[in-house]
Amino acid sequence: MAPAASFDVVVLGAGAAGLMAGAELARSGASVLLLEARARAGGRIWTRREPGLAVPVELGAEFIHGHAVITRNLLAAAGATVVDAADLHLTVHQGELERRPDLFPRLRQALAAAGSVLAQHDMSFDEFLERHLAATLSADERQRARRMAEGFDAADTAHASARAIVEEWLGDVLGTGPQSRPRDGYAALIEALLASFDPAARPGGAHGLHLESVVREVRWSPRSVALAGERAGAPFEFRARCALVTLPLGVLKAQPAAVRFTPPLEAKRSALEGLAAGPVIKVLLRFRTEFWECLHAGRYAGASFLHSPHSGIPTFWTPAPEHAPLLVAWAGGPRVPRLAAGHPPEDLARLAVESLQTLFGSGVDVAAQLEGWYYHDWQRDPFARGAYSYVALGGSAARAALAQPLEDTLFFAGEATDTGGEAGTVTGALQSGLRAAREVLAS
């Protein structure tokens, strides 16, 4: 093997956090190498553009939650348009799809009134609902709140921190801010970050990006890092003054270790135990037509979210206000391992169609309308091992602890490290990448 090339900084991972950090470091004049295990950049952002389909197929991240200033600014600079999602929710109730009263304003009010008890003593979200909201919310409303935490946070409410969920739900991400999408998908943001980083620079230049480069070991001591792995079956080793680690939480928590750190990351053990990688199922169903817009004299036209709480896959959404024959089937939280265990993607697509049929009854043969489907298993993806992070009970300080640099040598970014109220989102990943890059420069 040739002598190891040396850089100021090596960034592990070319998702949103890694690309943001790489661009910031490159602008400073540092020599930077990004190592990405996949054959593409973007991480848990993965946009596909399909012929004949007017909207993008987002296998991973899709929404812009809240005002998300850094995300919107990057998309605007790239000339990308942002579209606010429609907000018409329909739920199966007594066999009919109907618009039910929006629970969230009432839930936010109840959380704000009772949330002060969490300042001194955290508890699971389940315990919080039963001990402190039973007098305010009905049993049905509390169950809807659980399903919301499972769906939005991909959380197991028996083990998730109530303090973290309440803070999030009272904040901008899910509060009064808009819920939007990049019109042409998140690929525009990744492409803009790649252009900013200038990955066309060849090794030996100021900076570069290596795809299909799987890091297996990180050997580190103060102000010195050696990274070893393989690319296309050939071993590599790079050296740097420091490393910026943007590996997803699921990869950092993997046992046996997906990436071996020598010495081990003992200082991060408590932080990693305080966070969980939430599982999701996301199946995108492509149909011949937008048949739901014509059913029952157009009663469902303009609907954004369709809920069938007792179905295997309980939540669907449309591209509204855009029009396209595409529906997203979504499940999150503890039901996902039970649904996905041992089942091929074809079974999940079939379950999605069966669940969707419960929404429309005999008004349409959903399976007959289906043209195809798209799916990626983020839980089994060896470079993700989960969808996005949530805070477990006892983990209130975990995000900040995970973000802390070690010996001015190992720096950490990624949505799980965001402490600005945007964790679990693309915005959180971008903010963390910028924060970590500035920590590197300050060191």
> What does the pLDDT look like over 276-323, one tens digit per residue?
999 999 999 999 999 999 887 677 888 899 999 999 999 999 999 999
Same domain, 326 and 345: yes
Is the same domain home to 59 and 136?
no
Q: Count other Cβ atoms within 10 Å, centred on residue 256.
A: 5
Residues 282, 267 share a domain: no
**Is the residue at 164 inside a domain?**
yes
Domain membership flag for residue 89: no
- Confidence band, pLDDT 50/70/90 cuts, at residue 200: low
Distance CA 255, CA 30 (A): 34
C-alpha to C-alpha distance for 16 and 274, rounded to whole angstroms: 23
Domains contained in the chain, number: 3
* pLDDT given for residue 202 in this prediction: 38
Residue 206 is predicted with a pLDDT of 56
Q: Do 160 and 198 share a structural domain? A: no
Alpha carbons 432 and 22: distance in angstroms, whole number? 12
pLDDT-derived band at 263 (thresholds 50, 70, 90) equals: very high
Say what percent of the chain tops pLDDT 70: 97
Q: Please give the angle made by the CA atoms of 333, 339 and 342, to the nearest 5 degrees.
A: 125
Lowest mean pLDDT among 180-184, 193-197, 378-382, 411-415: 193-197
Residue 288: which domain range? 49-64+178-183+278-375
Coil, helix or strand at residue 402: helix
For residues 40 and 58, membership in a common domain is answered with no
Say how far apart CA 167 and CA 171 lie, in whole Å: 6
Among residues 417, 15, 65, which one has the least CA distance to residue 193?
15
Model pLDDT, residue 3: 64
